[in-house]
């Protein structure tokens, strides 16, 4: 069964600090997708990134970067030079590619990031 | 472009009253649709998913039901709300590229 673990419940940093959000996943499939979403105080989930299991290249998008390591089943998210606007709950999610066409998207419990000025 | 609409944004209902939350998607056909619930301070729990009209799968036994009367419409219902049904309900659809796109959510408070 698929499972996502985000062990960090809440992280507090001061603006301009770098911060890494951890995500560990479990799956029996060899083909799967990993995602990160941001949930600001407004509540709506905002898609940040998708990574498939065959692509272990790390990705950088502005101040955001992602480190995907299949050997440790981890997909960690780093924010460089954090800003107050980064304050939100961040969710990691996993989807197995099933032959029936349905892909169940399972979320971790989320990490609340608080960035203070 | 695809958009997803979910309403109402907030709802306060007494215990024992019925519930109907609606979600519609525009700009895509035959989407996979999902209902998630987020209890206060907790993660997202998948409640129902649908791969087509009239096709509903339930993930967790509960006091809720879902229906998909049209291709791009997904409804979450309850005949009698419980206090434990309070939470933030999110509708989502999956694109071909795999990522889910969420509605703005409905904050339900059962009193």
In this structure, of A15-19, A44-48, B26-30, B97-101, the range with the lowest mean pLDDT score is: B97-101
Q: Please check whether residue B44 touches A, CB under 8 A.
A: yes
Q: Which of residues 5-24 of B touch A (CB under 8 A)?
A: none
User: What does the alpha-carbon distance between residue A86 and residue B41 come to, in Å, rounded to a whole number?
Assistant: 18
> Which residues fall within 8 angstroms of residue B29, CB to CB, at 6 or more apart?
B71, B72
- Tokens 């509708």 correspond to B91
Q: Which of A33, A91, A104 sits opposite B44 (nearest CB)?
A: A91
User: What does the alpha-carbon distance between residue B111 and residue B97 come to, in Å, rounded to a whole number?
Assistant: 40
| Segment B20-38 mean pLDDT | 91
User: What does the alpha-carbon distance between residue A113 and residue A110 come to, in Å, rounded to a whole number?
Assistant: 10
Average pLDDT value over all residues in chain B = 90
CB contact under 8 A, B46 and A95: no
Above 60 in pLDDT, residue A101? Answer: no
Interface probe for B, chosen from A49, A51, A104 (most Cβ of B below 10 Å), is A104
pLDDT for the residue A104: 78
pLDDT for the residue B61: 67
Secondary structure letter of residue B45 according to DSSP: E
In angstroms, the separation between the Cα of residue B103 and the nearest Cα of chain A is: 7
pLDDT for the residue A21: 98
> Which residues fall within 8 angstroms of residue A71, CB to CB, at 6 or more apart?
none
Q: Which of A50, A101, A109 sits opposite B43 (nearest CB)?
A: A109
pLDDT for the residue B68: 96
Above 70 in pLDDT, residue B100? Answer: yes
For residue A104, the Cα-to-chain-centroid distance in whole angstroms is 16
Which sign does the torsion angle of CA A62, A8, B44, B95 carry? positive
| Segment B55-73 mean pLDDT | 89
Interface probe for B, chosen from A105, A106, A107 (most Cβ of B below 10 Å), is A105
Q: Please, is A77 exposed, middle or buried when counting C-beta atoms within 10 Å of its C-beta (0-12, 13-18, 19+)?
A: buried
Secondary structure letter of residue A23 according to DSSP: -
Both tokens assigned to B101: 């796109």
Compute chain A's Rg from CA coordinates.
14
Above 60 in pLDDT, residue A115? Answer: yes
Q: Are B28 and B46 in contact (CB under 8 A)?
A: no
């Amino acid at each position: 069964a698929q499972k996502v673990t985000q062990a960090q419940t809440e992280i507090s940093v001061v603006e301009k600090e770098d911060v890494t959000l951890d995500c560990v996943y479990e799956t029996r499939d060899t083909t799967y997708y990993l995602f990160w979403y941001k949930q600001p105080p407004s509540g709506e989930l905002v898609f940040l990134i998708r990574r498939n299991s065959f692509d272990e290249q790390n990705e950088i998008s502005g101040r955001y970067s992602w480190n995907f390591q299949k050997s440790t089943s981890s997909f960690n998210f780093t924010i460089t030079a954090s800003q107050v606007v980064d304050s939100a709950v961040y969710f990691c999610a996993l989807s197995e590619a099933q032959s029936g066409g349905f892909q169940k998207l399972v979320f971790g419990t989320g990490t609340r990031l608080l960035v203070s000025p | 472009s695809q958009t997803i609409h979910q309403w109402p944004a907030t709802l306060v209902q007494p215990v024992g009253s019925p519930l109907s939350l609606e979600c519609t998607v525009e700009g895509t056909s035959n989407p996979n649709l999902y209902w998630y619930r987020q209890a206060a301070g907790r993660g997202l729990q998948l409640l129902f998913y649908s791969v087509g009209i009239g096709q509903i799968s339930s993930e967790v036994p509960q006091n809720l039901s879902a229906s998909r009367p049209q291709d791009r419409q997904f409804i979450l219902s309850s005949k009698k709300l419980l206090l434990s049904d309070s939470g933030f309900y999110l509708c989502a659809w999956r694109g071909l590229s795999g990522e889910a796109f969420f509605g703005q959510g409905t904050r339900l408070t059962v009193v």
